[in-house]
Structure 1
Amino acid sequence: MKTMAELQEIRERVGKMISLREENSEPVEITKGMYRSQVLVCGGTGCTSSNAEKIISTLKEELEKQGLTDEVQVVRTGCFGLCALGPIMIVYPEGSFYSMVKVEDIPEIVEQHLKNGIIVTRLLYQETVTEDGVKSLNETPFYAKQMRIALRNCGAIDPENIDEYIARGGYLAIEKCLSEMTPAQVIETVKASGLRGRGGGGFPTGIKWGLAAQNKADQKYVCCNADEGDPGAFMDRSILEGDPHAVIEAMSIAGYAIGATQGYVYVRAEYPIAVHRLRVAIEQAREYGLLGDNVLGTGFKFDMDIRLGAGAFVCGEETALMTSIEGKRGEPRPRPPYPAVKGLFEKPTILNNVETYANIPQIILKGADWFNSIGTKGSTGTKVFALGGKINHTGLVEVPMGTTLRTIVEEIGGGIPSGRPFKAAQMGGPSGGCVPAEYLDVPIDYDSLIEIGAMMGSGGLIVMDDTTCMVDIAKFFLEFTVDESCGKCTPCRIGTKRLLELLDRISRGEGTMESLEEIEDLSQHIKNSALCALGQTAPNPVLSTLKFFRNEYVAHVKDRKCPAGVCKDLLQYEILEDKCKGCTLCARNCPVNAITGTVKNPHKIDPAKCIKCGACMERCKFNAIVVK
């Protein structure tokens, strides 16, 4: 067990070393046990899948060959954010940001940069390279307008080294709570901060904690939702991979605040890196006396464990999650009673998601006024988004609440590839809605998004351009929901299937104008009568696309055409006679012999035989084949 004095010694000793990783850091005298250079390599899921582990092992081998092992430290971190540029490597104290690193690049980086001090400019992230030299990463468009609170340690520390977390102010917040604050004061601080749940619902965190605190019981629980099942979402996973101790510390604070002694992190088994690092962090915290029967020698008791989920989307709903932790099939329970009264094992329980907890230590240390000075009046602080889809800079971003969608898409995200126009952004995954181009300048906060028929959700943000069919997008998310329904209630089990059938008919050109009315009517019935949030929000992508892109639905119904050229049943391939040279390449590559014609004469496509695979258009060298 470590005492508070011993933790402070670690902050001073290790903090001196990792201070070299800060932009514009003050010069530090390199003493015994320190390194003159530190190489931080992204070890998040994205970069790991791009061969980051091989890059790390090769880097260590090359450093040993050059006799630099005692001078250069290699640190495996969490996600830096710019996922599209992985594998990523940053060399400090210069802050040189190497992107899309290959194993064969390592010898040159070691020889030139780490041995001789010559930065390999051609391998740098090119947005950091200017005519005047190399600029700070924080000056690039992707990072300049971000504010990292929940992600503050991701990409900055080794997540499997508790000392590095401590050196960045880790566990100071729980020390402050146990030595200076009563449980009621902790709850009041969280209330005053205005922090709302980042998992999608946006319920005030402090109020939730207060409700659990006032209920007397012999046992209470603190739960963390790390199930994150939205397509395209990876915010919580990245925090667990890059900064697991922040979640542990926050859950300990929550336990102190409501009088709980046990916590559970419910994380899906498909996140092996996150699970491993969380397990390592929990064991380290126990070893240091930061979890267990006598936290920091104060008599406060709190411990925590991991429960693995099998990937059921419905287990993101709080009562289904708790049912799963109990060892039963993950199905939602009717509310009330709410978990703060009767939750896990029928005891008072609070449940927040990973990102919500990641904000707590900083709120305790810097105060409620600091946090609610960020963002908007009704939506304080920052929000983490997983930016994907038709965007140049796919990755993880954290911005103050109230930042506009235009800023995220055009400035941080670098716009849409090939200069195509922005059409919409799907926010909140299967539970959310589409935000069209006309609302690009609406501030992103809970209330503003609800006003336009969308929602914040957990933070998935999928960008779409003019080649996207909105009927197809609605069908995609509804197919996901149908597959993930637990089947407990009829509106979700049957209603979403009937809704999907209606959409499917429209995408095949078999719908009618009455079908659109049926969709709206059925959607409202599902929203009003489904048991849990999965069913209640399932129609959101359908309703929002129908609201903002009704003309596309009408085109599918009346004209039997898909304006974006996506719905295969409504496509018709045609060969332009004036452009066709009769080369026969299209006919030779048609898998169903739907193209006829003779050499050097225009060919024709038989619509009855065509399966609309697009092979002919891909092979044509003269742009003679078009889609109508």
Structure 2
Amino acid sequence: MIDLDNITRSVKKAGENITKRIVVCAGTGCVASGSIKVFESFIIVAKELGISVCVELKGGNIGTLLSKSGCQGFCQKGPLVNILPAEILYINVKVDDVKEILKKSIKNNSLIDRLCYSDNGKVCKGQNEIPFYKKQHRVVIKQCGVMDPENIKEYISIGGYRAAEKACAEMTDKEICDVVLAAGLRGRGGGGFPVGKKWNLARNQTASKKYIICNGDEGDPGAFMDRSVMEGNPHGIIEGLVIAAKATGADEGYVYVRTEYALAVKRMKKAVKDASDIKVLGKNIFGSGHNFTLHVMEGAGAFVCGEEIALIASVEGKRGMPLPKPPFPAQSGLWGKPTTINNVETLATIPMIINYGADVFRETGTVSSPGTKTFALTGHVLNTGLIEVPLGSTLRQIIFDISGGVTDGKGSVKDGNFKAVQIGGPSGGCLTEEHLDLSLDFDSLKKVGAMVGSGGLVVMNKSICMVNIAKFFMQFTQNESCGKCVLCREGTKQMLLMLSDITEGKADEDTISLLEELARAVQIGSLCGLGKTAPNPVLSTLKYFRNEYDAHVKEKRCPAGECKSLINYEITDKCIGCTVCAVKCPAKAISGERRQKHKIAIVKCVKCDICIKSCKFNAIEIV
């Protein structure tokens, strides 16, 4: 039987002569920016400088430990290098910076200002000084940017698997469900269904075989919360699964990971193997008599497989398609057996509840939506990345306090430039300036036609056409529809055609009312969550940006200047006749004598924007 205390003591003993730690972010974003080369350079350069750096804790190690972490969150500023215990965070680190870091920060304990984040001219030493971090409340992703995700012993040394041991060895299945129910934890994958209630449904089923599935098939455009947790803290998810299995009576489980998430798949597989090797998984876990085996499965590459019935079909080797409910998966799921499905973030939250109790968990968030929520923040904001805040936080706090404000699209913050935010991906809705102080929780968002969803936040400035945004998300859901039910298969197709007509100037005044009527029908009559929520971006933009739809249809004009079919170009009196635009125009639509104002032949213009981009005098305007 595994001895967690003994492993903890051995890890601490091995690290007793380690005085510093260099943590290189190895989440997908930083890896894409070159962080692995930075990591490898630390090893090479440290040896050249004679600085003692080790990459694995063993007896007798002295000096500095070099390790990788999962996503540290500040994705826009990667590669990131965190130096502990000094709590120094260096951003945009290049291979050429490694020698300076080793010489100054490791050898001489000095700060390199140019590698630090600057907040209005003030140098921020580390996360506790950077607004992006210090205004968050990190629980689920707290260890993602510090711990080595591929080292199970390190996870154990910081308290890992203690909650699983307690649940398996000291608590009954009912006691586990009761504490989760008392905590008020709601599913973090979309609808916010009470987790304790879902577990009780499965627990009360009489069956010789039960399953549990972790849904890591995160497919929303702009979302990367679950990916980051799987990459940065895979053992936290496994621990949540062990507890859930004990609570529901499951003896076998699957982690269903989006196939495009290669790094998450790799780390989850290693974590499951390591957990099995030291008997955290397998037979008689923690001497409790409970057996639980776990498998990692790559997804089918379809957005619809995030829907639980379609996911179950995919695990069974079938085409991912939904079925009518009931029966619910807790009654008849994988291979006809009771099955519990929770998403990644939900399961990673469970150990905290078991360790500290329901009352501590409820100290954060709102009464009806306790706890925290991770969000993937993208779009026109100064600092994009992965954040975690208490449920009940506002868009204003997230966009302006944490992320630093709305940009003009070129990286500069511009006051009054906020237009909307798409929350919850293609299943969510658009929120506007009037919602900046709305409490972001399950119930408040539902009242305004939106949803927390998996946690994607795409911020848009005033240069964005909201009709085009609705069209983008409808294109996505139409492509991802499994085609099983007519309303989703044909309804989303017709909605997309109507949105295309509107953006191309082909729609009449009846198109908008027909679009809205069809959206309501698809919302009511579709079989699964994909179809039922597909109209949300359309309905929310119709509600809050009706004037833009009217401008497209009645005036044949795109107010944002994005819809190419509805814009024209005009050369103003600023033109000095330099002929640059005429020379660069691929359609030869611009004419005029040198040193005289030029003209654009609208019938020839292909609306490629080359004339605007090439004019140094801002003499060409969109009309």
- TM-score (norm: length of structure 1): 0.95
Q: 1:42 aligns with which of 25, 33, 45?
A: 25
In the alignment, structure 1 residue 590 sits paired with structure 2 residue 580: no
In the alignment, structure 1 residue 142 sits paired with structure 2 residue 125: no
The answer to whether the 8 Å contact 2:117/2:125 transfers is no
Structure 2 counterpart of 1:95: 87
Given residue 104 of structure 2, which amino acid in structure 1 is its aligned partner? Q
Structure 1 counterpart of 2:252: 262
The answer to whether the 8 Å contact 1:87/1:100 transfers is yes
- Give, in whole Å, the separation in 2 of the partners of 1:287 and 1:10: 14
Structure 2 counterpart of 1:276: 266
Residue 128 of structure 1 deviates from its aligned partner by 10
Structure 2 counterpart of 1:60: 43
- Helix, strand or coil: the match of 2:392? coil
Structure 2 counterpart of 1:185: 175
Q: 1:9 aligns with which of 6, 16, 38?
A: 6
Structure 1 counterpart of 2:59: none
Residue 144 of structure 1 deviates from its aligned partner by 1.9
Residue by residue over 1:479-498, the C-alpha shift from the partner in whole angstroms, topping out at 9 and shown as x without a partner, is 00011111111111111000
Given residue 591 of structure 1, which amino acid in structure 2 is its aligned partner? P
- Helix, strand or coil: the match of 1:41? strand
Contiguous gaps of at least 5 residues in structure 1: 18-29
Residue 15 of structure 1 deviates from its aligned partner by 5.1
The answer to whether the 8 Å contact 2:149/2:267 transfers is yes
Q: 2:515 aligns with which of 515, 519, 524?
A: 519
- Helix, strand or coil: the match of 2:193? coil
How do 1:68-87 residues align onto structure 2 when only pairs under 5 Å count? Answer: 68=51, 69=53, 70-87=62-79
Given residue 9 of structure 1, which amino acid in structure 2 is its aligned partner? N
Q: 2:295 aligns with which of 284, 302, 305?
A: 305
Deviates more, 1:108-117 or 1:618-627: 108-117
- Give, in whole Å, the separation in 1 of the partners of 2:168 and 2:576: 81
- Give, in whole Å, the separation in 1 of the partners of 2:251 and 2:170: 20
How do 1:555-574 residues align onto structure 2 when only pairs under 5 Å count? Answer: 555-574=551-570
- Helix, strand or coil: the match of 1:563? coil
Residue 556 of structure 1 deviates from its aligned partner by 0.6
- Helix, strand or coil: the match of 2:292? strand
Given residue 140 of structure 1, which amino acid in structure 2 is its aligned partner? I
Q: 1:248 aligns with which of 238, 246, 249?
A: 238
Residue by residue over 1:525-578, the C-alpha shift from the partner in whole angstroms, topping out at 9 and shown as x without a partner, is 1011111110111000000000000001011111111111111101101111x2
- Give, in whole Å, the separation in 2 of the partners of 1:599 and 1:583: 6
- Give, in whole Å, the separation in 1 of the partners of 2:509 and 2:517: 13
Q: 2:146 aligns with which of 132, 156, 179?
A: 156
In the alignment, structure 1 residue 474 sits paired with structure 2 residue 470: yes
- Give, in whole Å, the separation in 2 of the partners of 1:39 and 1:127: 24
- Helix, strand or coil: the match of 2:212? strand
Residue 14 of structure 1 deviates from its aligned partner by 3.0
Structure 1 counterpart of 2:491: 495
- Give, in whole Å, the separation in 2 of the partners of 1:604 and 1:293: 80
Given residue 42 of structure 2, which amino acid in structure 1 is its aligned partner? L
Given residue 616 of structure 1, which amino acid in structure 2 is its aligned partner? C
CA RMSD of aligned residues (A): 1.4
- Helix, strand or coil: the match of 2:502? helix
Residue by residue over 1:272-327, the C-alpha shift from the partner in whole angstroms, topping out at 9 and shown as x without a partner, is 11111111111110111100012123321001001111320000000000000000
The answer to whether the 8 Å contact 1:434/1:454 transfers is yes
Residue 524 of structure 1 deviates from its aligned partner by 0.8
Structure 2 counterpart of 1:204: 194
- Helix, strand or coil: the match of 2:22? strand
- Give, in whole Å, the separation in 2 of the partners of 1:308 and 1:328: 14
The answer to whether the 8 Å contact 1:208/1:340 transfers is yes
How do 1:99-118 residues align onto structure 2 when only pairs under 5 Å count? Answer: 99-118=91-110
Deviates more, 1:417-426 or 1:603-612: 417-426
Q: 1:332 aligns with which of 311, 322, 325?
A: 322
Residue 514 of structure 1 deviates from its aligned partner by 1.1
- Helix, strand or coil: the match of 1:137? coil
In the alignment, structure 1 residue 347 sits paired with structure 2 residue 337: yes
Residue 610 of structure 1 deviates from its aligned partner by 0.5
Deviates more, 1:209-218 or 1:595-604: 595-604
Structure 2 counterpart of 1:389: 379
- Give, in whole Å, the separation in 2 of the partners of 1:618 and 1:625: 9
User: How many residues of Structure 1 are paired with residues of Structure 2 in the alignment?
Assistant: 608
Structure 1 counterpart of 2:524: 528
Residue by residue over 1:382-403, the C-alpha shift from the partner in whole angstroms, topping out at 9 and shown as x without a partner, is 0100000000110011000100
Residue 116 of structure 1 deviates from its aligned partner by 2.3
Given residue 575 of structure 2, which amino acid in structure 1 is its aligned partner? C
Residue by residue over 1:416-450, the C-alpha shift from the partner in whole angstroms, topping out at 9 and shown as x without a partner, is 12315111110010000001001100110011111
Residue by residue over 1:443-491, the C-alpha shift from the partner in whole angstroms, topping out at 9 and shown as x without a partner, is 1001111111111111000001111110000000000001111111111
Residue 129 of structure 1 deviates from its aligned partner by 7.9
- Give, in whole Å, the separation in 2 of the partners of 1:127 and 1:359: 32
Structure 2 counterpart of 1:619: 614
- Give, in whole Å, the separation in 1 of the partners of 2:113 and 2:26: 23
How do 1:218-233 residues align onto structure 2 when only pairs under 5 Å count? Answer: 218-233=208-223
- Helix, strand or coil: the match of 1:74? strand
- Give, in whole Å, the separation in 2 of the partners of 1:306 and 1:242: 16
Given residue 186 of structure 1, which amino acid in structure 2 is its aligned partner? I
Structure 2 counterpart of 1:463: 459
The answer to whether the 8 Å contact 1:128/1:140 transfers is no
- Helix, strand or coil: the match of 2:438? coil
- Helix, strand or coil: the match of 1:216? coil
Q: 2:117 aligns with which of 118, 125, 129?
A: 125
Structure 2 counterpart of 1:194: 184
Residue 268 of structure 1 deviates from its aligned partner by 1.3
- Give, in whole Å, the separation in 2 of the partners of 1:135 and 1:66: 25
- Helix, strand or coil: the match of 1:301? coil
Residue by residue over 1:594-625, the C-alpha shift from the partner in whole angstroms, topping out at 9 and shown as x without a partner, is 11112111111111010111000100111110
- Give, in whole Å, the separation in 1 of the partners of 2:254 and 2:166: 23
- TM-score (norm: length of structure 2): 0.96
Structure 2 counterpart of 1:608: 603
- Give, in whole Å, the separation in 2 of the partners of 1:570 and 1:423: 21
The answer to whether the 8 Å contact 2:168/2:285 transfers is no
